[in-house]
Amino acid sequence: MQKIGILLGRLISWAIILVLIVFTVYPVLYALLGSLKTNAELNLGSSVLPAVPQWENYYTAFVKSNFLQYGKNSLIVSLATMALAVITTSLSGYILARFDFVGKRLMMVSYGAMMFVSIGSVALFPIMQLLDKVGMSKSMLSLVLVLTGGQIANVFLVMGFVKGVPKELDEAARIDGCSIFRTWWQIIVPLVRPILGVVALFTFRNTWNDYITTLVLTMSNKKLTTLTVAVVQLKYSVFAAAEWHIMLAGASLAIIPVLTLYFFTNKQFIAGLTAGAVKG
């Protein structure tokens, strides 16, 4: 009876994993296969595989989306946001984990509550008004600052890691005359590097794939348009017909940088998640 229960548990586990894999892989396969079809073939949905692969869709998407220019914008914004997020989350996590100050408990409760509230596009209008008031509505820096916000989940991750670092290291550094910032930079950052790698990869992915925020904040300055926004615009044709096949080709091209980054950092990414699970 016990063996049947164990077997049933394994079957359920594998069934859940299989469902998750299908829901994860299917959209990617749909985009890749759809990018090789004609628009009529894609809209009709007559077959899963393309009758004749339309490789020229990729060339058309590359040219029409101005891939190099808008790809450069996306890379600059994503890298800048990633760097700023790593700095702010590591500093915040260190301070919250190591120091007590007036209002800390209220801050933690407020931050925790905001993790479950999705403000989304509701906040975009006041953000745009604020940026306009300070004269930053048409700069790439404003986009980076806005996209860096909402890092509280990452702050909690870093804070959990910092709590796993012995406080004696901080005390020893303080005795040697290290300031708070030097202790953070020379002691804390090297020891929490795995989780900072996870934060960096998540931030890069989210920034690269962001659409609504970048669309709204770059409407007044088309030179700042990112690749994700440009790819979505590919479906609008001069013939008033949605060119979904071209958009899917552009989307397939747009995921290459993120996959490349993950390919070179997957070991650090898995190590960070595993260590985080252990340190809790």
Q: What is the pLDDT of residues 193-205, one digit of tens each?
A: 888 988 998 899 9
pLDDT in tens, 228-251: 998 888 877 655 567 888 888 888
pLDDT in tens, 175-225: 888 888 899 998 899 988 888 988 998 899 999 998 888 888 888 888 888
pLDDT of residue 81: 95
Res 274 pLDDT > 70: no
pLDDT in tens, 111-146: 777 777 655 667 788 888 888 888 887 888 989 998
Domain 56-279 top-level CATH class: mainly alpha
pLDDT in tens, 11-32: 888 999 999 888 888 888 888 8
Helices (runs of H) and strands (runs of E) counted in the chain? 16, 0
Averaged pLDDT score across all residues of the chain? 84
Task: Write down the H helix ranges in 99-235.
Answer: 104-114, 124-133, 140-148, 152-163, 167-175, 180-183, 189-191, 193-209, 212-217, 227-233
pTM: predicted TM-score of the whole model, two decimal places: 0.84
Res 85 pLDDT > 90: yes
pLDDT of residue 1: 63
Q: What confidence tier does 280 reach under pLDDT thresholds 50, 70, 90?
A: very low
Mean per-residue pLDDT for 49-76?
88
pLDDT of residue 119: 58
84: left (phi over 0), alpha (psi -120 to 50) or beta: alpha
Separation CA 90–CA 35 (nearest Å): 40
CB of 225 within 8 A of CB of 70?
yes
pLDDT of residue 127: 84
Separation CA 141–CA 134 (nearest Å): 12
Q: What confidence tier does 265 reach under pLDDT thresholds 50, 70, 90?
A: confident
Structure tokens at 57: 């869709």
Mean per-residue pLDDT for 59-63?
88
Separation CA 214–CA 191 (nearest Å): 34
Tell me the domain boundaries of the chain. 56-279
